[in-house]
Every structure is written in C-alpha cells, then in structure tokens.
A and B are shown apart, each in its own frame.
Chain A
Amino acid sequence: MIFSAHEIAQLRHLELLAAKVVRGQLSGERAMRKPGPGSGFREHRAYAPGDALRTVDWHAYARMDTLVVKEFDAEEALDLVLLQDCSASMQGEAARCAAKVCAALGAIALRQLDRVLWIPVGGARAAEAFSGRARLTDLLGKVDAEASGPTDLLGAARAALPRAARGGVAFLVSDFFDPLSATAALTFLLGRRYRVHAILVEDREALKPPPFGRVRLVDRETGATRTLDLTEQAVTDYRRAREARIDGLRHFCRRGGAGFLRVRADQPFFEIVRAAIARGWLGR
C-alpha cells in the first residue's frame, strides 16, 4: 500500500476542480450548467405542456396562482485520465512519487463518483477504467506498478483513449523522457478537449552526473551505451541541455493551455498537493 492511513485521511478533504464543464455518463457529484436530473435547485420556469406534473412547484402555485416548474442542475460524472509513466526511467523514487500522485488524484475522483481512466506508460500492465468508490483499492494496487520498458506517452494515450472520448481532465505524471512523443501526447490530449496537467517528476539523485573521468553511460530504458571523458564542461553542457528540455516543455504547456508542475521525486506528497491547489487544480 503506497498510502498510509494518515495520507488517505488527508486526501479526503481534497477536491478535484474541473476548470470547465464536462460531460459525464454517470451521475457523479459534479454539477452541470444545464438543467437535468440532480439534487441541486437551479430555477423556476413557467409550466409548459409536456412537463411532468411532479416537477410542478405546488407551493408556488398556491402563492402566485401560476404553474411553475422547478428545475435542477444535472449531475454528471467527470472523466479523469491519469497517464502514469511506468517506464524504466522512472525507477526508484520517481516511480513512487508518480504512483502517489496518480493514486491521490484517482482516489479523489473516485470519491466524487467520477470515472478514472488509468493509463500506464510502459510497464507490463494495461490501461484500466475505474468508477465508484469501491474501486479505489483496485486503483491503488494498479498504480503501484513496477517500472520497466520505454517511454511512449503518445502511443499509450492513443491506445487507451477511444476516438469518441468526450474530454475531461488528464494528468500526465512523468519524467517526460520521451524523445519522440512527449509534446505529441500533450497535443493529442488537448485535441480531445481534455484539460491537461503535466506533472514533471525529477529524480535528481538519478540525474546527478557521475564523477569526472572516463565513464561509460548506459541508458536505463534502451540499454544503449556511450563512453566519454566527463569533464566539468561536459557536466555543464548536460545540465544546460536538461534545463533547456524542461523549459521547452513548460513553454509548450503554457501555449497550449495546459498546466505544468515540476516536482522533485523526494518531495513530500503534500507539498505537491499544495502546489496543485495553488494552481487551482485541487480544492477542499
């Protein structure tokens, strides 16, 4: 179990904020902007032929002698897409951090009767949809997956999301070490009318350059190797390239209207939650 009881209790007070109205097929707790079946009073309107008599507000008729009908906000479920990077580059602390973030988001969504679509990127497990609070345990068991395989965000999103997806909220929790499809995946989700939030998880210990000298670098995902004489200049170039890549991702998210959050893998989970709250992604 990746969450302790104390952490789960803390999550109970968090609420996922949807920035815009999305449609849902299940009657979740999210109020829609159109009238429909729900528990929340919306407005009165004049009775029209065909309206069900049980919708007539008889108390108002007694006072005003006019037939009016009560309308309620329709309550629809929210589609929450969680793209969790489970590739080999996310081993260790980064994988645990990504799992906790996804579990927290999923737990909040399931508690609000939203639908959760968990899509692992890499790894041995397949994407799976969760709905209903009873599936929380299943979700927590899924997100605690072993990291392996390459990173292919676009491929995983394409494979898991149906073409008729109607939008929702999508979280990409990854180190974004996807040379080909990191930005393509973001574009794809935005094109499907998802509110996209990118959470960059950095395991700085793993990113720390090795000591100076002759070193043979081995890629964790692909196993490719390169040998170089590591000097201070080489380390400077490496750090510069890393920051440039992150800056490019941040700018891309800003231009596309997507959220971007850079977190450390060893960062306490609630700090990440507070950062998400500050960005308006979560609320109590």
Chain B
Amino acid sequence: MIEFVDPAGFALGLAAAGVLAAHLIRRRARRHVVPFLPLWMATLAQRPGGFGARVARWLDLALVLLACALVALAAGGPRVPGAPDRTRDLVLVLDGDVTLRAGKRRANLTKIAEAEIRRRVRGARFAVIGVADEGATLWTGDDVAGALAAARAHEPGWTDAPRDEAIELARAAAEGMRDPDLVLVTHRRGRVEGMRLRTVFEQVRNAGVAALAVVADPEGGGSVAQLLVRGDGMVSVEGKWTGEVRGTQDVSVPLPDAGEVTLVVTSEGDGFPPDDTAYLTLSAPPRPKVLVLAEGEPSPFLVAALQALESTEAIQGPLDRTTPDHAREAAGRYDLLVFDRCGPPERIPGVRALYVAPPPGALPFRVGDEGDAAALFDVRKDHPLLLGFDFSRVAPLRARAILGGEAVATAAVGPVVAAAPGWVALGFDPDRSLLAASPAYPLFLRNAVEFLAPAAHAERPEFYAIGEPAPQQGLATIADLGTIRVGPRLLGPPGFWRFPDATLAVDFLAKDLDLLPPDERSDPLPGVGEPGVPARPLAPHFAAAAIVLLLLAWWAFWRSP
C-alpha cells in the first residue's frame, strides 16, 4: 500500500507524462541528410515499418511512458505508510482480593502485580477497576503511576460478592474505547496472570466449558457446582448428573458429612481437549464439631444455644455412653466436648471440654463444696470468655468453687468461672440461676467454643493459594488433569461476568492452562505497546527505476551507433 505526500505533484507529473506521451505518439521520423543514399540500400532492403520495427517502436514508447509514469509517481512523493505507535484501549480489572496480598507472599504479589500493570498499560489508554468488597473505578487515564498509587490505596477485601458491579464499572469505562481489551490482573500459583476477557459469542466459539465454579449455596447449606457452558456438546457430571447443558446450568451436589466429592466433567466438541478432564473436588465447610454429654437429657437451653451458633455442629450424646473409651474416642472426633452437669469417668488427656456445673470427679481441676452464691463479683470483663455481655449481674443462687486454672468470675464460695488451656468450667447451672444468666448464656457458649476450639479456625486459612490441595474440611478446589489447577476464587461465582448483550467468560490461554485449545482467531494477550514504523519514502526508488528505464531505452533505441 502506497500513499502520496504531495498529490498535487503527482497530478502535475501525470499531466507532464500525458504531454510527453502525446508528443511521443505524434513523433515522426527524424530527418537525416546523408552524402550518398545508395550506401543504405542494403538497409533499405528491410521493409520500413515491419513487425520487428513496430514492436521496437511500441516497446520504446512503453519504456518511455513507464519511465515518465515513474517520474510522475516520484514527484508525488510516494511512500510506504508506516505504522503508528500501537496503543491499546485497556480496561484493567485489578484483583483487590486479600489473596493478592495474603500471607508471606503479600509483598511479592503486590510488586508483581504492579509490574504487571506497568507492563500491560504501557502505551495504552486504560481504566483500572478495582475489585474488592465493592467494585470501584480506581483510575481512568494513561498515567501509570497514578493508577498504581490508586491500586495501592485500594483496600483489599474479599471478592466474592461484587464482581458484577465491578464489571458494570468496567463496561462503563470501556465505552468510548476502541475494541478494548479486558484484562484481569490476579494471581495464580503465586504469580500474576493477565487473563483476557472477551465475549464468548464473538470470539470464543469453541469455548465449551468456559468456566467451572463452585459457590456456597447460602440457602441449602450445601454447595452448588455451576457450569457455564457454551456450545451444543454434551457435558456430563460423572455419577451425579448427565444431560445436555446449554448456557448456565446449576448442579446441586449433596455433600457428605466428611470426605469429598469428585465431579468429573467432560464435554464433547467444546474447548476441552479430548484427553482432558476437569476435576471438581468439593469438601464440607469446616465447622467445629461439638458433642454434648449429659446424664440423661441435656439441658434444652444448652442445646438450643449451641445450635444457634452457625459455625458449630452440636451433637447430643447420652450419659450412658460416657464411658472412658467412648469419651476418648469422642475427644478425637470432635473439636469440643460439653459436659452438662457431669464429668468424664476418667481424665482424658488432650481433650478440649466445657464443664457446666461439674460434680467432683476426674476433672482437670478441683471442685469445692456447694454453697450459696447470691451474686458474682470480681468479674474479669476483659476476658475472652466474657466478651459481649456482663456476667456481674448474674445471680447463681447455688454454686461450687472451681479450684484451678484462671479465675474469671468469683462468688462467695470462691471462683465459679475458671478457664485454662483445654478447659473452661462453669461452677453453677445456668438453668437454675436467676437474673441475666439466660440471655448471656449463648454468648458465653460462643466465646467458650472460640476459646477452646480455635484450632479448627486456625487450620483453615482464609485464603488458599491456587493449586494448593484443599485439606479436608477446607475449601473446594477444581483441578485440571495434570499440572494445572485453578481455584474457585479465581473463577468464583463472580467468574461469570455478564453484560446485557454478551457473556464474558474467563478465557484461559490454552498454552498456560491447557483448558482451551489454541484458537487461530484468538489473539494473544495484549503485550507491551509496540513502537510505530516510520513511513518509508519511495521517491528515490521510483526515480532510480525511471533512470534505469530511460537508460535501457537509450541503449536499445536511441543511442548513436
């Protein structure tokens, strides 16, 4: 493709070429006087205007015209147009998840993210959308430093809820841009991965299972595997569900009390390679398990209070099963044992237990004689067991002193609330107490569970790195066969980003994730801005070609013998 710098010069050159062409066409034979014409008789024997002569004459004219045309083109300033600096319109969705800043890799991930942003947005007009607890437009413009400062100031949070809102923001920011690229900056396997988002309908025809996510079902108490499927292929969930899936399909999977459920997802004619299988591993959410042990029926008030705790799984156990073996077994299976007005037949090492009005026995503390306790005094209000309520107004009436551990509240008989690592003891029965014991009891139980069974929470990190195997009682994971693993937080329920007119899906690069085969229509991720190519002038070449043609014509037709 050639453009002309000076069209006027080009027109002038064409006019000159036309004049010269007319002149050449009208040109007649040159007159030449010779001393003795008969010397040319041998030459004159050749018929003037023969075929060869006509060809030569027209060839001469063609050469001259071509040379003139080249001169005219050269006068027009031809050049090969260069390419301008390649700038991109970019909507950069910054994952503000705490996972990006979590754990020991916080600093590294942040730095990597910033470097990635710098690399992605160089030479681009871009908008930065932060995704955290709330979507927010952090920056719009082309100032990388400003965008990074805004990103750093962005408060991290969990990304579960508001990604639709963030996408709306991204969509609004993309208006007015020219074919913008949506880039999600998040992490995977400890490194930042830019993933290009694009409309499934337009560019990812064979996306197949474009995303697979697991969300917690807030109503059913279980989990929901949500498949976003595009295409007419069959998708089967092994053992649980089989059917033709179009669009978005929710598949409910009941979870067992323990263990895990594996969903094998295959589809035909979709984006998965034929030999590829995605595994969805679902695990029960980690909740501390509490076993209530009592002589006979446990206190309904106690059971109701434990069941009110969402994160606690309370199980009632009969007294006759409080044998030493049973208690020892229960200590290994449950996070917390609650002895309701009873005690273990023997001491169980390592057990975490809450003792409510325990009688003397095999306890880790001593129990005093029962006496009157009209009121509690010397209450330690800053103790974790007493957070959220006031125990000083409780009137236990009758109580036993708890001799051992740390005294939390004291009555006339001595310490009636005590705590130590592994146990908490309450020296009176809340059911038989007066005043404010009843409303404070659920809060005390919550504090006691948090105090005694913190290990269950500590073992469950708030963030699992993508690809890390989820421990039992941990979060669900989705694993591709072999080397690639992606997690629900990456895809997540917010992974389905829907626009009113199209659905955006996370487009994994096949070479990175082995989820999608290479699509020739799929452009690679936008890289750095590319410098433009300067225009290359062609006038010297044209002029040189014209000179060559004229020299050729001169050599063939004009030169003197």
Determine how close the nearest CB of chain B comes to the CB of A254; give it in whole angstroms: 22
Q: Smallest Cβ distance from B131 to chain A, in angstroms?
A: 81
**Given the known A-B contacts A227-B29, A231-B53, A240-B42, are A213 and B558 also in contact in the complex, defined by CB atoms under 8 Å?**
yes
Asked whether any CB of chain A lies closer than 8 Å to the CB of B39, the reply is yes
Q: How far is the CA of A210 from the CA of B558 in the complex (A)?
A: 9
A221 partner residues in chain B, CB cutoff 8 A: 35-36
- Judged by a CB distance under 8 angstroms, whether B304 is at the interface is no
Is A209's CB under 8 angstroms from B560's CB?
yes
Most chain A CB within 10 A, of B37, B42, B46, is at B37
Contacts known (A89-B36, A226-B40, A229-B49); A212 close to B30, Cβ less than 8 A: no
**For residues 180 through 230 of chain A, which have their beta carbon under 8 Å from a beta carbon of chain B?**
203, 206-222, 224, 226-230
Could you tell me if B35 and A177 are in contact, using CB atoms closer than 8 angstroms? yes
Q: A227-B48, A228-B44, A228-B48 are in contact. Are A214 and B30 (CB under 8 A)?
A: yes
Question: Which of A175, A220, A240 has the largest number of chain B CB atoms within 10 A?
Answer: A220
Contact A216 B29 (CB under 8 A): yes
Q: Are A214 and B35 closer than 8 Å at their CB atoms?
A: no
Contacts of A165 in B (CB 8 A): none
Cβ-defined partner of B43 (8 Å) among A207, A208, A224, A237: A237
Q: Which B30-75 residues have C-beta < 8 A from chain A? A: 30-44, 46, 48-50, 52-53, 56-57, 60
A232 at the interface (CB under 8 A from B): yes
Q: Which chain B residues lie closer than 8 Å to A229 at the CB level? A: 46, 48-50, 53, 56-57
Whole-angstrom CA separation of A215 from B44 in the bound complex: 11
> A228, B36: Cβ atoms under 8 Å?
no
B176 at the interface (CB under 8 A from A): no
CB of A242 within 8 A of chain B? yes
- Asked if B178 lies at the interface with its beta carbon under 8 angstroms from chain A, I say no
- Contact partners of A276 in chain B: CB under 8 A: none
Q: Is the CB of A179 within 8 A of B38?
A: yes
Q: Please give the distance in Å from A248's CB to the nearest CB on chain B.
A: 13
Number of interface residues of A (CB under 8 A): 42
User: Residues of B contacting A206 with CB < 8 Å?
Assistant: 34-35
User: Given A212-B559, A213-B60, A228-B48, are A220 and B35 neighbors across the interface (CB < 8 Å)?
Assistant: yes
Tell whether A20 is near chain B: CB-to-CB under 8 Å.
no
Task: Report chain B residues within 8 Å CB of A207.
Answer: 34-35
Residue in B34, B39, B56 with the greatest tally of chain A CB atoms within 10 Å: B34
B389 within 8 A of A: no
Contacts of A262 in B (CB 8 A): none
- Are the CB atoms of B37 and A226 closer together than 8 Å? yes
Given the complex, which residues of B lie within 8 Å of A209, measured CB to CB?
560-561
**A238 — which chain B residues lie within 8 A by C-beta?**
39-40, 42-43
Q: Considering the chains assembled together, what is the distance between the CA atoms of A208 and B35 in angstroms?
A: 10
Please give the distance in Å from A202's CB to the nearest CB on chain B.
Answer: 10
User: How many Å lie between the Cα of A19 and that of B43 in the bound state?
Assistant: 42
Q: How far is the CA of A211 from the CA of B560 in the complex (A)?
A: 4
Instruction: Check A218–B33 contact: CB distance below 8 A.
Output: yes
Residues on B with beta carbons closer than 8 Å to the beta carbon of A17: none
A109 to B547, CA, bound (A): 61
Instruction: Please give the distance in Å from A85's CB to the nearest CB on chain B.
Output: 11
Q: How far is the CB of A15 from chain B (nearest CB, A)?
A: 34
Q: Is the CB of A222 within 8 A of B40?
A: no
- B301 within 8 Å of A (CB atoms): no
Q: Does A159 contact B (CB under 8 A)?
A: no
* Complex Cα gap A237–B33 (Å): 18
Asked whether A213 lies within 8 Å of B557 as measured between CB atoms, the reply is: yes
Q: Are B39 and A241 in contact (CB under 8 A)?
A: yes
Cβ of A235 < 8 Å from any Cβ of B?
yes
Docked-complex contact B39 and A228, CB < 8 angstroms: no
For A212, list chain B residues within 8 Å (CB).
Answer: 556-561
| Shortest beta-carbon distance from A119 to chain B in Å | 21
A214 to B42, CA, bound (A): 16
Q: A220 to chain B: which residues have CB within 8 Å?
A: 33-36
Contact status A177-B36, CB under 8 Å: yes
CB closest chain-B residue, reference A235: B561
Distance A224 CA – B52 CA, assembled complex (angstroms): 25
Q: Is A234 in the interface zone, CB < 8 Å from B?
A: yes
Q: Collect the chain B residues with CB atoms within 8 Å of residue A175's CB.
A: 35-36
How many Å lie between the Cα of A211 and that of B57 in the bound state?
A: 14
> Which residues of B have CB within 8 Å of A158?
none
Decide if A245 is an interface residue (CB 8 Å cutoff). yes
Q: Closest residue of chain A to B49, judged by CB?
A: A229
Which single residue of chain A is at the shortest CB-CB distance from B34? A217
B561 contacts A245, C-beta separation under 8 Å: no
CB neighbours of A230 from chain B (8 A): 43, 561
Establish whether residues B557 and A219, one from each chain, have CB atoms under 8 Å apart when the complex forms: no
Q: A218 to B34, Cβ gap below 8 A?
A: yes
CB contact between A217 and one of B40, B53, B559 (< 8 Å): that residue? B40
Enumerate chain B residues within 8 angstroms of A227, measured Cβ to Cβ: 29, 48
Given contact pairs A215-B32, A217-B33, A245-B39, enumerate 16 new A-B contacts (beta carbons under 8 Å): A90-B35, A91-B35, A177-B35, A212-B560, A213-B30, A213-B57, A215-B29, A215-B31, A216-B30, A218-B34, A220-B33, A229-B56, A232-B561, A237-B43, A238-B43, A241-B40
B residues contacting A by CB (< 8 A) are 28-44, 46, 48-50, 52-53, 56-57, 60, 556-561
The 8 lowest CB-CB distance pairs between A and B, nearest first, are: A229-B53, A219-B37, A177-B36, A235-B561, A89-B35, A210-B32, A234-B43, A214-B29
